Structure 1
Amino acid sequence: MISKNDFPILEFDSNKNSKINPSSIIAKKDVPKCCVITFFGDVIEQMLKNDRLKQIGTFATTSIRLPIYETEYSGKRIGIIAGFLGAAGSAGQLEELIAMGFKKFIVCGGAGVLQKGIQVGHLVVPYSAIRDEGLSYHYLEPSREVECDFDVLDVIENQLSTDNIPYIKAKTWTTDAFYRETEDKVKLRVSEGCVTVEMEAAAFFAISKFRGVKLGLVLYGGDDLSGVEWDSRKWNSRENIRKNLVELSFKICLKLK
């Protein structure tokens, strides 16, 4: 039995048997072991136009349907799907992908930067995420942060070093409330070592630990929250950066053990 807490989000239950289990409603499929979750829908659209994708499933909600695709990279099968914005949606998506049979994941997307000097497109590899969202507290006991799998981090860093790609290994701030990123909260997160802010990393790390799958993130510097005013920096129009990051994610994902 769990004990009642003044704050319901702290009432963690370690029981893995839920009223609704993903494995009970999602059928296993002949899917690749590796999957890239990308928040770059434009890259997926271009891959479709180039006949590089084959649909093998669908992640369906009451409001949106996201196709699950398979492609080939270096002669190997690999999955790819557009990410669902926010921790809760991302959690449902990841749970169903795991239930289908995927076991190794690289997530790639953009993130707001909290410190000056980080150019648009500069890669950031999160090693830890501050849990300022709600989802992760249902998968892991309460704590301030959740870490990325160390083995996955090693694979990511080794590949970036091999390819001579500059990157920052840093802490990220995961929050559900992008309209509540106040000046004082940004300062607090920076003081804790956060370089980026996004909405999914803590959830992804928590679920991957809970379900025993491999997962890592590679982000690129997007909009800038380090100044007095927010600067979009037209971060979501950098087509070449986004395309190259997806291709890099394929390469990394296939090397995960």
Structure 2
Amino acid sequence: MPSILDNKNTAAPSVFLPAALLREARRQKGLPTVDVPAICVLDPDGDMVRRLRESGEAQPFKPWACYHTQLDTFTLAGQAIGLVGCAVGAPFAVLVAEQLFASGCRLLISVTSAGQITASTSPPYFVIIDRALRDEGTSYHYAAPAEYAEAQPRLVKIAADALDGTAPHVLVGATWTTDAPFRETADAIDLAKSKGVLAVEMEAAALYAFAASAKAQVLCLAHVTNTMGQAGDDFEKGEADGTRDALAVLARLVNAFRELPGHDVETLSNGDG
């Protein structure tokens, strides 16, 4: 039994809470307590953040008290959206997610680059992740051992209905979440493929385990952009480094999620900063 599974009481409360960290960061930096937008997006590659900053569409959310990241806000589908770039990997993604939900976020969407495992179609395309194979460490601090971390079925259905028939191609299925992208061996890839896994990424299993533990609304999408360097002209995301397609997908999701309880137009329009 690996030691990471020792003494894990996932029902026990944590001594160290995100609210305490944010409180002290605000004290040190002289920041006011202001809620982040109700819908926030994780952009691990940072392409959306960079493009939106360059175009002047994204502005820093100055009250954001996180020590490790900058939160930007921009308008999408008529709503204020929070955006955090470059939070790569399970521990970093959950670190940020904890603080976002402690700061007023009510729905978090992660859009992460992923490598193709099952050749469903030619990259780039998107996968709405309905479950993630747990091959990372963070999820085991939030949920008892299990092969997969599951998405909330209702969120997956809403997203699938919203993106049905859109371009680019959108699939629904499983991914493999790894902490070690440069240890994707042939045997590991074959095993994931035998389980019907569509792609490999670095955050979804941990984010879904956190969401189940915290009763938070989190949806993860994989932007499948590569075959792990096994083909020529790999890692091509599409126009504007894939941001045009990613923002189009997100706009449809924002419109669809307006119907969720607690996500009325007034709530979603929150974006002071």
Residues 1:32 and 2:27 aligned together: no
The match for 1:111 is 114
Give me the whole-angstrom Cα distance separating, in 2, the residues matched to 1:236 and 1:91: 27
The total of aligned residue pairs comes to 245
The match for 1:79 is 82
Shift of 1:76: 1.9
Deviations 1:109-153 (A, max 9, x none): 210001235311122111110101110000001101111111110
Shift of 1:82: 0.7
Give me the whole-angstrom Cα distance separating, in 2, the residues matched to 1:35 and 1:10: 31
> 2:148 is matched by which residue type in structure 1?
E
Give me the whole-angstrom Cα distance separating, in 1, the residues matched to 2:179 and 2:224: 19
Shift of 1:254: 5.0
The 10-residue stretch of structure 1 (71-80 or 103-112) with the greater mean CA deviation from structure 2 = 71-80
Shift of 1:45: 1.8
Q: Which has the higher strand share?
A: 1
Residue identity over aligned pairs, in percent, reads 24
The 10-residue stretch of structure 1 (158-167 or 68-77) with the greater mean CA deviation from structure 2 = 158-167
Q: Do the aligned partners of 2:163 and 2:252 also contact (CA within 8 Å) in 1?
A: no
Shift of 1:58: 5.4
**5+ long unaligned stretches in structure 2:** 24-32, 261-273
> 2:78 is matched by which residue type in structure 1?
G
Question: Helix, strand or coil for the counterpart of 1:37?
Answer: strand
Question: Helix, strand or coil for the counterpart of 1:43?
Answer: helix
Give me the whole-angstrom Cα distance separating, in 2, the residues matched to 1:69 and 1:250: 17
Q: Do the aligned partners of 2:120 and 2:198 also contact (CA within 8 Å) in 1?
A: no
Root-mean-square deviation (Å): 2.1
Shift of 1:180: 1.3
Summarize the Cα distance change of 1:232–1:15 in structure 2 as closer, same or farther, 3 Å threshold. farther
**5+ long unaligned stretches in structure 1:** 1-5
Choose from 43, 48, 51 the match for 2:53: 48
Q: Do the aligned partners of 2:124 and 2:237 also contact (CA within 8 Å) in 1?
A: no
> 2:39 is matched by which residue type in structure 1?
C
TM-score (norm 2): 0.82
The 10-residue stretch of structure 1 (229-238 or 49-58) with the greater mean CA deviation from structure 2 = 229-238
Structure 2 counterparts to residues 125-140 of structure 1, below 5 A: 125-140=128-143
TM-score (norm 1): 0.87
Residues 1:13 and 2:9 aligned together: yes
Summarize the Cα distance change of 1:164–1:242 in structure 2 as closer, same or farther, 3 Å threshold. closer
Give me the whole-angstrom Cα distance separating, in 2, the residues matched to 1:192 and 1:17: 34
Shift of 1:42: 2.8
Question: Helix, strand or coil for the counterpart of 1:26?
Answer: helix
The 10-residue stretch of structure 1 (26-35 or 212-221) with the greater mean CA deviation from structure 2 = 26-35
Summarize the Cα distance change of 1:164–1:222 in structure 2 as closer, same or farther, 3 Å threshold. closer
Residues 1:197 and 2:209 aligned together: no
The match for 1:187 is 190
Residues 1:151 and 2:166 aligned together: no
Give me the whole-angstrom Cα distance separating, in 1, the residues matched to 2:145 and 2:221: 25
Structure 2 counterparts to residues 214-225 of structure 1, below 5 A: 214-225=217-228
The match for 1:239 is 239
